[in-house]
Structure 1
Amino acid sequence: MKLLVLGATGPTGRHLIDLALRAGDQVTALVRDPAGLGEPAGQVTVLTGDATSRHDVSAALAGQDAVVSALGRGTSVVADDLFARASAALIAAAQETGVSRAVWLSSFGVGHTLAWASVPQKAIYRTLLRSIYANKEIADDAIRASGLDWTVVYPTRLTHGPARGTYRADDRLPMKGNPTISRADVAAFMHRAVHGSEWIGRSAVISD
Structure 2
Amino acid sequence: MRVLVLGATGRVGSHVVSLALQDEHSVTALVRSPNMLQINDGNLHIVQGNVLEKQDIENVMANVDIVISALNTDGANTLTESMPLILDAMDKEHVKRIITVGTAGILQSRLTPTILRYQSSESKRKTTFAAEEHHKVYNFLKKSDTDWTIVCPTYLPDGEYTGIYRIERDFLPDGGVEISVADTAEFVYQQIQNKEYVKSRVGIAY
Taking structure 2 as the reference length, the TM-score comes to 0.89
Amino acid at match of 1:70: A
CA distance, structure 1, for counterparts of residue 34 and residue 122 of structure 2 = 35
Q: State the secondary structure of the residue aligned to 2:123.
A: helix
Which digits, 9 at most, give the CA deviation of each residue in 1:84-108, with x for residues without a partner?
Answer: 0121111111011111110011100
CA–CA separation in structure 2 for the residues paired with 1:147 and 1:29: 23
Q: In the alignment, which residue of structure 2 is the partner of 1:123? A: 124
Structure 1 residue 39 displacement after superposition: 2.8
In structure 1, what is the equivalent of residue 86 of structure 2? 90
Map of 1:139 onto structure 2: 137
| Distance in 1 between residues matched to 2:152 and 2:135, nearest whole Å | 11
Tell me: CA distance 1:149–1:58, structure 2 relative to 1, closer, same or farther (3 Å).
same
- In structure 2, what residue type is equivalent to 1:123? K
Structure 1 residue 52, shift from structure 2 partner: 2.1
Q: Is the 8 A contact 1:55 1:93 kept in 2?
A: no
- Equivalents in 2 of 1:98, 1:9: separation in Å? 26
How many angstroms apart in 2 are the aligned matches of 1:42 and 1:11? 22
Cross-structure match for 2:183: 185
Match of 1:5 in 2: 5
What is the one-letter code of the residue matched to 1:69?
A: S
Match of 1:32 in 2: 32
- Give the one of 149, 153, 178 matched to 1:155: 153
How many residues are treated as equivalent by the alignment? 200
Contact 1:111–1:137 under 8 Å retained in 2: no
Distance 1:93 1:168 in 2: 33
Counterpart of 2:202 in structure 1 is 204
Identity across aligned pairs (percent)?
28
Task: Name the one with the larger helix percent.
Answer: 1
CA distance in structure 2 between the partners assigned to 1:122 and 1:34 by the alignment: 36
> Residues 68 and 103 of structure 1 are in contact (CA less than 8 Å); yes or no, is this contact kept in structure 2?
yes
Specify the alignment match of 1:105 in structure 2. Answer: 101
Q: Which residue of 2 aligns with 1:61?
A: 61
Residues 121, 23 of structure 1: CA spacing in aligned structure 2 closer, same or farther, 3 A cutoff? farther
Superposed structure 1 runs of 4+ greater than 3 Å apart: 40-43, 111-121
What amino acid is aligned across from residue 131 of structure 2 in structure 1?
Answer: Y
TM-score, normalization by structure 1:
0.88
Q: CA deviation at 1:56?
A: 1.1
Kept after mapping to 1: 8 A contact 2:152/2:204: yes
Sort the Cα spacing of 1:54 and 1:111 in 2 relative to 1 into closer, same or farther, 3 A.
farther
